[in-house]
Structure 1
C-alpha cells in the first residue's frame, strides 16, 4: 500500500494511568482536573476523537482518525443449544470480546460463529492476524464456517522475513501487510481502508482480531493500545460491521482485564471445557 500518511502527532502519556484513561475516554470521571496534567490532555484527546468522528462520518478513509495512535483443527462442530442461546444475547453488538484460553476448540467454534452472517447472507471476512500466519487463521474459518463467503481480506501484522503461505485457503484472499505489531496507526489505517472499500458491498462484514493478548504482549505501552482499540471500535460501528477480539485473560492482571473489557459492547467468557457465559 502507498505510504501516504503523515506522522502521527505526539501525545504525552507520562503520568496518566490506564484506569484514568478509561474514565476520560468514557467521559464519566467526576473529579476536578488540573489543565496542566496529562490526564486533562487525554480527556481533551477523547473529545477530539468524538468531534472528528462526527465531522468525518463513516465514509472517511484519509487515516486522520488514527493520528492519536503515535508510533513510539477439527471439522465442523455445532455449538450446544445453551451456547447458541448465549450468543443470541449478543444481538447486534458491534464489538465483542471473546475472553478465554487460546487455541482450544471452543475458541475456534465461537470465532467462526461470530464471523457468520446474522441474516443468512454471504459474509465478508476481515481478519487481523497479529502473530498467526494468514493461512493459520483462515484454515480455522474454512474448517468451521458454513456460510458462503463473498470477500476475504487479512491484515497480516508481521516481520517481512516471515514465511507466507496462502495456498492452504481455498478462495481469493486480499492480503494487506503491516511490518510491525508496534505500528498501531498503520494497522488501524489499513483496517479502515478495507472497511471503507467494503461499505455498500452486498452481505455483512465481520471482523476477527486475533489477538488482543498478542498485541498487548508486543506493546508495552498499554495506553497506546487502549487508544488504538477506542478508535477501532468506533470505526467498526460506523462501518456497520461486527467485530470480535480474542483475549486470553491469563496474560493480564485483574485491573487491566477490567479496563480493557470496558471498551466492548459485550464480553463472552469461555473455558476450555466449553462452558460459556455472558458478562
Structure 2
C-alpha cells in the first residue's frame, strides 16, 4: 500500500495511510522527548524501499547514527543520511562521510539546502528509492539564527520538494519559544501537526489536520523504538 505511517499503532489506526507528499510540524514543549519520537518514526518506517534524511541542529551526526545502531538498525544497509549542522560549529574539521554531510552551522541555510539536495539526488535518482522522509530537528534552532522570512523561503522550497517526491516531511518546533505570528506563518507550509503537551509529569500527543477532526490525546512513553500510548 502506498503512503506513510507513524509506526505508532493507535495513531496509525485512526489516521489510516498518510498520503504521499505530506508535511507535518511536530510541536511540543522542551524535554518532551521529541528527538526520540522523531527517530522512532523514522526507524519504524525503514525497509528496502524507504530512505530518510535527518537535518540535525542539536546533535552531531555520529550520535544520531549511534542511536539507530544501538536500537538494532543495520546502518550500512539502510539508506539514512544526516545533515550535521553541529560538528563544524564546535570548530571540529570533520569530513563528510557516506552517511553524514556537514553544514557549517544552523545559520547556513544555503549549505544545508545543498546537502539535503545531494541526499535527495543519491536516494531518489541514483538508488531509485520509492519513499523518502525529510526530518528537520529543529526549526526552532534555525529560527534563533535567521528571520522568519528567510526560514519560510527555505522551508517553502523543501516542503515543495517533499510533495514533488511523494515523500513525508517532519519538522520539529519548540513550543513557547516563538510568538503566535511566527507559528501562524510556519503553519501555512504544513498539512497538519503532531501536537505534544505536558500532562502532569507525563506528555500527551495528538495529530491535527489529517482527518476531519483531531485525534484524541494520548499519553505516551518511549522505550527504544517503541512508542506506547494510552488515552488521557
Determine the C-alpha separation between the residues in 2 that align with 1:121 and 1:194: 16
Q: 1:85 Cα deviation (Å)? A: 3.4
1:135-173 CA-to-partner distances (Å, cap 9, x unmatched) read 33334444568798621211111335445899xxxxx85
Q: 1:246 Cα deviation (Å)? A: 0.9
Q: 1:127 Cα deviation (Å)? A: 1.2
- What pairs with 1:112-261 in structure 2 (closer than 5 Å)? 112-114=40-42, 116-117=44-45, 121-142=48-69, 150-158=78-86, 159=88, 161-163=90-92, 173-200=98-125, 201-203=127-129, 204-219=131-146, 221-261=147-187
Moved more, 249-258 or 138-147: 138-147
The answer for the alignment partner of 2:11 in structure 1 is 83
Residues 20 and 163, structure 2, Cα contact 8 Å, conserved in 1: no
Which of the pair has more CA radius of gyration?
A: 1
Q: 1:252 Cα deviation (Å)? A: 0.4
Change (3 A) 1:278 1:188: same
Residue segments in structure 2 that go unaligned for 5+ positions in a row: 1-6, 209-232
Change (3 A) 1:211 1:190: same
Q: 1:225 Cα deviation (Å)? A: 0.8
Residue segments in structure 1 that go unaligned for 5+ positions in a row: 1-77, 167-171
Change (3 A) 1:196 1:190: same
Residues 178 and 186, structure 1, Cα contact 8 Å, conserved in 2: yes
Between structures 1 and 2, the one with greater strand share: 2
Residues 116 and 206, structure 1, Cα contact 8 Å, conserved in 2: no
Residues 208 and 245, structure 1, Cα contact 8 Å, conserved in 2: yes
Determine the C-alpha separation between the residues in 2 that align with 1:145 and 1:254: 40
Residues 154 and 175, structure 1, Cα contact 8 Å, conserved in 2: yes
Determine the C-alpha separation between the residues in 1 that align with 2:93 and 2:66: 14
Determine the C-alpha separation between the residues in 2 that align with 1:95 and 1:136: 25
1:102-149 CA-to-partner distances (Å, cap 9, x unmatched) read 44346523442255438x645322111123211333344445687986
Task: State the TM-score, normalized to the length of structure 1.
Answer: 0.59
Determine the C-alpha separation between the residues in 2 that align with 1:187 and 1:89: 30
| SS of structure 2 residue aligned to 1:132 | coil
Task: State the TM-score, normalized to the length of structure 2.
Answer: 0.69
